[in-house]
Amino acid sequence: MNIILLGPPGAGKGTQARILVEQRGMVQLSTGDMLREARTSGTEMGKRVAEVMDKGHLVTDEIVIGLIRERLESGDATGGYIFDGFPRTLRQADALGKLLSEIGQDIEHVIEMQVDDEVLVARVSGRSTCASCGEVYHDVTKPIPADGKCTVCGSTTFTRRADDNAESLKTRLMAYYKQTSPLVGYYYYAHKLRMVDGLAEISEVSGQIAGFLDGPT
Ligand code: AP5
Ligand code: ZN
């Protein structure tokens, strides 16, 4: 089963994707993570990507579709893929549909995570990530344990994202509403859209998602 997690920056896509990986053995394909990896490569493409991401704009469709194509061509996800942060434009959605049909697969559920804008600001400004395993924390809602060690891997190094500042977030939100939100209608008419309350507690959101994954399609 392949699913898409759709939602604005800070909605909880990455958090829920990691839970699904752990609980169901699915494979997370996060274009944000792939691009952050590319920017550390020091290549010309990496430098261009870094500039665009830090400002909060979308990277070109060609680049992200290329990254997903590579992963789908080389991958074997028996537990299914979780597309996290992809697709983000109608062109990316069309490309994903084609790429999946080439390997005889499809998207079963598109989970839209609904969260108010004011909450998103608090979510991204309090976020930190384990530098070693990528576990996501929040200063208030999911604090790093008192001993300073990641609950998953024990590392003591945590990072904050360069684009998690008020100005970039404003641009990221605008990009979401302008370029990504049309996908809600696109998948609604394809009978794939399922909505969850992203304001609920992390475990409750997971329960809502599980309800769709385990229920009738
Ligand atoms: P990307 O990495 O995809 O970032 P994003 O979409 O902005 O989403 P975030 O990672 O910020 O949030 P999230 O929904 O994963 O929330 P999280 O679980 O971390 O993209 C970054 C950039 O890369 C883009 O701006 C663009 O430049 C580029 N890019 C990526 N994909 C692209 C594409 N397809 N096309 C073009 N460009 C692309 O949670 C946030 C915080 O809230 C955490 O601290 C977490 O602990 C906390 N939290 C989570 N859930 C809850 C909850 N239910 N209750 C309380 N707190 C919660
Ligand atoms: Zn860790």
The pLDDT mean for the chain works out to 94
Among 35, 48, 130, 201, which is best to mutate for testing ligand 1, by the most ligand atoms less than 8 A from CB?
Answer: 35
Structure tokens at 114: 């609904």
**pTM, 2 dp:** 0.95
Taking residues 79-86, report their average pLDDT: 95
% of the chain beyond a pLDDT of 90: 87
pLDDT band with cut points at 50, 70 and 90 for residue 217: low
For the chain, the structural domain boundaries read 2-26+77-214
Taking residues 117-133, report their average pLDDT: 93
The pLDDT score that the predictor gives to residue 15 is 96
User: Which has the closest alpha carbon to 20: 114, 99, 87, 83?
Assistant: 83
The pLDDT score that the predictor gives to residue 42 is 84
**Homologous superfamily of 2-26+77-214 in CATH?**
P-loop containing nucleotide triphosphate hydrolases (3.40.50.300)
Residue 194 annotated as catalytic: no
Q: How many whole angstroms from its chain centre is CA 203?
A: 17
**How distant, in Å, are the alpha carbons of 40, 56, 107 from that of 2?**
29, 27, 5
Instruction: State the first-to-last Cα distance of the chain, in angstroms, to the nearest integer.
Output: 11
User: Which has the closest alpha carbon to 114: 28, 47, 195, 48?
Assistant: 195
The pLDDT score that the predictor gives to residue 43 is 87
The pLDDT score that the predictor gives to residue 34 is 94
Cβ atoms within 10 Å of 187's Cβ, excluding its own = 21
Alpha carbons 123 and 133: distance in angstroms, whole number = 20
Please provide residue 6's backbone torsions phi and psi, each rounded to the nearest 5 degrees.
Answer: -115, 135
Can the peptide bond before residue 182 be classed as cis, meaning omega within 30 degrees of 0?
Answer: no
Structure tokens at 74: 């080389």
Residue 55 annotated as catalytic: no
pLDDT digits (tens, 9 = 90+) for 128-159: 999 999 999 999 999 999 999 999 999 999 99
Interaxial angle between packed helices 166-175 and 44-55, expressed in degrees from 0 to 180 and rounded to the nearest 10: 90
Ligand 2 ion: Cβ-proximal residues, 5 Å cutoff: 130, 132-133, 135, 150, 152-153, 155
pLDDT digits (tens, 9 = 90+) for 87-100: 999 999 999 999 99
Beta carbons of 202 and 12 less than 8 angstroms apart:
yes
Residue length, the chain? Answer: 217
pLDDT digits (tens, 9 = 90+) for 23-66: 999 999 999 999 999 888 888 888 999 999 999 999 999 999 99
Residue 24 annotated as catalytic: no
Ligand 1: which residues within 6 Å by Cβ? 7, 9-15, 31-32, 35, 52-53, 56-59, 64, 85-86, 88, 92, 123-124, 126-127, 136-138, 141-142, 163, 172, 201-202, 205
> Does residue 75 register a pLDDT over 80?
no
User: Which has the closest alpha carbon to 154: 144, 163, 162?
Assistant: 144
% of the chain beyond a pLDDT of 70: 99
pLDDT digits (tens, 9 = 90+) for 163-212: 998 899 999 999 999 999 999 999 999 999 999 999 999 999 999 999 99
Q: How many whole angstroms from its chain centre is CA 121?
A: 17
